[in-house]
Structure 1
Amino acid sequence: MRRLRSLLIVSAALAAVLGGVPAWAAPTPAAPTAAAAAYSCDPGYFCMYSGWNGTGERCQYWQGEKRDTADDCGFVQRRWNTLSAYNFTGHRVQYYSGNNHSSRTRVGSSQPNERGNLQGSYQIRSMKRQ
């Protein structure tokens, strides 16, 4: 016990002399995360992604409605599912697994400024603001 106390006193003294905190006591910096780069979406747009957490390919829409997202979304054209979405609009956005936003194919909706992962078992083929 006496040795441990001596070691702690010596460590603290060294830290004071060297002007820092001992390496074993210093907090480790947080590693950069993919979340910082994820969910890239312009204000006023509804964005959808081929990857989880706003990663992968992105397709974004400023229109109040889109009858067929496959018209201009590469990953939907390749029949990849939509895994995450970001509603960076001031309106609720409803999305559908079928074209022309048929109520029979509604799969979900997002509140304004909401983002997150989806179920991942469908494509968003059409959308409209409420």
Structure 2
Amino acid sequence: MRRIRSFAVVAAAFVAALGAVPTATAAPAAPAESSSLVAYNCAPGHFCIYSDWNGGGTRCQWSQSSKANTADDCSFIRRGQNVRSVWNGTGHRVQYYTQTNYQARAGSTPAGAGGNLQGNYQIRSFRPQ
């Protein structure tokens, strides 16, 4: 711990002696984070599921707050493909299930968030939590 602190003090003194202002190393990461959010192409107010990781593949989206059977209007669910990622663009947490009619809870996603799932199941129904 002392060695790390000493290194930080020496580095700060070196930068100050040169009169240079260090650039933020996190700056390049911001576009990558933004582009990963862009990958989740989901209209505001909708709940979206995707057949591939990071919002890729086929997308199914719903504006209603609950759906008893996603296979009614989601082509990749009807083909038997699993859900690999989700995005919740609604104003509430969405809870999802591996069976129709809100049976066998698999998980939930807060409003304005999303990400990759295990990818080994289908989301067959969802509703607000």
TM-score, with length taken from structure 2: 0.71
Give the partner amino acid of 1:56. Answer: G
Residue 80 of structure 1: how far off its partner (Å)? 0.1
Q: Over aligned residues, Cα RMSD in angstroms? A: 1.8
C-alpha deviations, 1:31-61, integer Å up to 9, x for none?
Answer: x977365100000000000000000000001
Counterpart CA distance in 2 for 1:36 and 1:91 is 19
CA distance in 2 between counterparts of 1:114 and 1:36 reads 9
Asked if 1:95 corresponds to 2:76, the answer is no
Distance 1:85 1:61 in 2: 12
Unaligned runs of 5+ in 2: 1-27
How far is 1:99 from its partner? Answer: 0.2
Largest Rg, 1 or 2: 1
Unaligned runs of 5+ residues in structure 1 are: 1-28
Aligned structure 1 segments of 4 or more residues deviating by more than 6 angstroms: none
* Percentage of pairs with the same residue: 55
1:72 Cα deviation from its structure 2 partner: 0.3
| 2:62 corresponds to | 61
TM-score, with normalisation over the residues of structure 1?
0.71
Cα distance in 1 for partners of 2:40, 2:109 equals 14
Question: Counterparts of 1:102-113 in structure 2 under 5 Å?
Answer: 102=103, 105-113=104-112
CA distance in 1 between counterparts of 2:108 and 2:76 reads: 20
Distance 1:120 1:70 in 2: 17
Aligned length: 99
Inter-partner Cα distance in structure 1 for 2:82 and 2:90: 22
